[in-house]
Structure 1
Amino acid sequence: MSDLSIRPVDRTDLPCLLDLYVHLDPDGARCSLDDAVAVIDQLSRYEGSVILVGAVGDALVTTCTLVVIPNLTRGAKPYALIENVVTHADHRGTGFGRTVLSAAVERAWEAGCYKVMLMTGSKKPSTLAFYEAAGFEQTKTGFQIRRAPARRE
């Protein structure tokens, strides 16, 4: 894994990042490049929040989004949410996904977060085992209301 480089996304990465998201949801609506620029600009205004990408050479192979959320409990310590975790299908099982998650968690700790959460809609044992192997525990019950239907696995 020494050839994997984890770093924040930049504007020049956006076309490749949008291609990588196809491996998360092949049927998902692709956002425009202009919308992607606006989203990373907006995310950059949330202190500690970032889209991390993992690259091998010039190829983006894994990513996740970290959002740090201000909080008035726990002594005003923020918490973090990880979303849009994906590794290119050709690179799954290499440890790249776990590495990008670890980098996101480390950034959350550096931002003073008291916890890091993520949710998955997957019921696949391999996906659940992946998150457990990355250090996450299934200790809460999650609820959601969706405006758009969930993607199918």
Structure 2
Amino acid sequence: MMGCEVRLATVRDAIALKDIYTHLNPDDPAVSDHQFEQDLDALLADPNRMIIVAELDGIIVSSCTLFILPNLTRGNRPMALIENVVTHKQYRRMGFGKRVMLNAMDRAQQAGCYKVMLLTGSKTQGTLDFYKEVGLVQDKTGYHKRF
């Protein structure tokens, strides 16, 4: 992919990230640019929390968030959680989401994680197939509670 770079996000990406997240959850409550930048800076201050982006010719077109979580089982190996997987609507089905997901999983493996977890609320077959294509297996039951 010419002009595509997969990299870690920085606080300078705040406006672009805020924009791309509208393609994930268009009905999210509004947050000021200043608050978003402040919260992004706090998130990125921890080396075990990172946002991976695919940037095409200077435009962030895809992103996911990776959390490396400490653990006291499996030989005290950490686990990873991937959240907020999103690709800009105009750039879907072009491989950008796959690139950020594979990068996140590589980072989790390099961190010594014994597993990567991801939950999705999507019932869209294309989304479910996408997660299988990047190597995830749907074999457990997930639960959550929203507040």
- Common fold, TM-score beyond 0.5? yes
Cα displacement (A) at 1:3: 2.4
Rounded to whole Å, the distance in 1 between the matches of 2:116 and 2:46 is 16
Question: 1:46 and 2:43 equivalent?
Answer: no
Residue 92 of structure 1 aligns with which residue?
Answer: 92
Mapping 1:98-109, distance limit 5 Å: 98-109=98-109
Q: What is the TM-score of this pair, normalised by structure 2?
A: 0.94
Cα displacement string for residues 107-134 of structure 1 (whole angstroms, at most 9, x for unaligned residues) = 1111111100101000111110011111
Would you say the 8 A contact 1:46–1:67 is kept in 2?
no
Rounded to whole Å, the distance in 2 between the matches of 1:64 and 1:30 is 20
Would you say the 8 A contact 2:52–2:104 is kept in 1?
yes
Cα displacement string for residues 10-59 of structure 1 (whole angstroms, at most 9, x for unaligned residues) = 12211011001111011112332233233333323433320111100111
Which ranges of structure 1 fall in alignment gaps of 5 or more residues? 148-153
Residue 70 of structure 1 aligns with which residue?
Answer: 70
Q: How many residues align?
A: 147
Rounded to whole Å, the distance in 2 between the matches of 1:72 and 1:103 is 25
Which ranges of structure 2 fall in alignment gaps of 5 or more residues? none
Amino acid at match of 1:101: M
Rounded to whole Å, the distance in 1 between the matches of 2:61 and 2:54 is 6
Q: What is the TM-score of this pair, normalised by structure 1?
A: 0.90
Rounded to whole Å, the distance in 2 between the matches of 1:16 and 1:122 is 24
Question: 1:130 and 2:130 equivalent?
Answer: yes
- Which structure 1 residue ranges, 4+ long, deviate > 4 Å from structure 2? none
When the two chains are superposed, the root-mean-square deviation of aligned CA atoms in Å is: 1.3
Rounded to whole Å, the distance in 2 between the matches of 1:105 and 1:27 is 29
Question: 1:17 and 2:46 equivalent?
Answer: no
Q: Percent identity?
A: 44
Rounded to whole Å, the distance in 2 between the matches of 1:128 and 1:114 is 22
Rounded to whole Å, the distance in 1 between the matches of 2:106 and 2:85 is 16
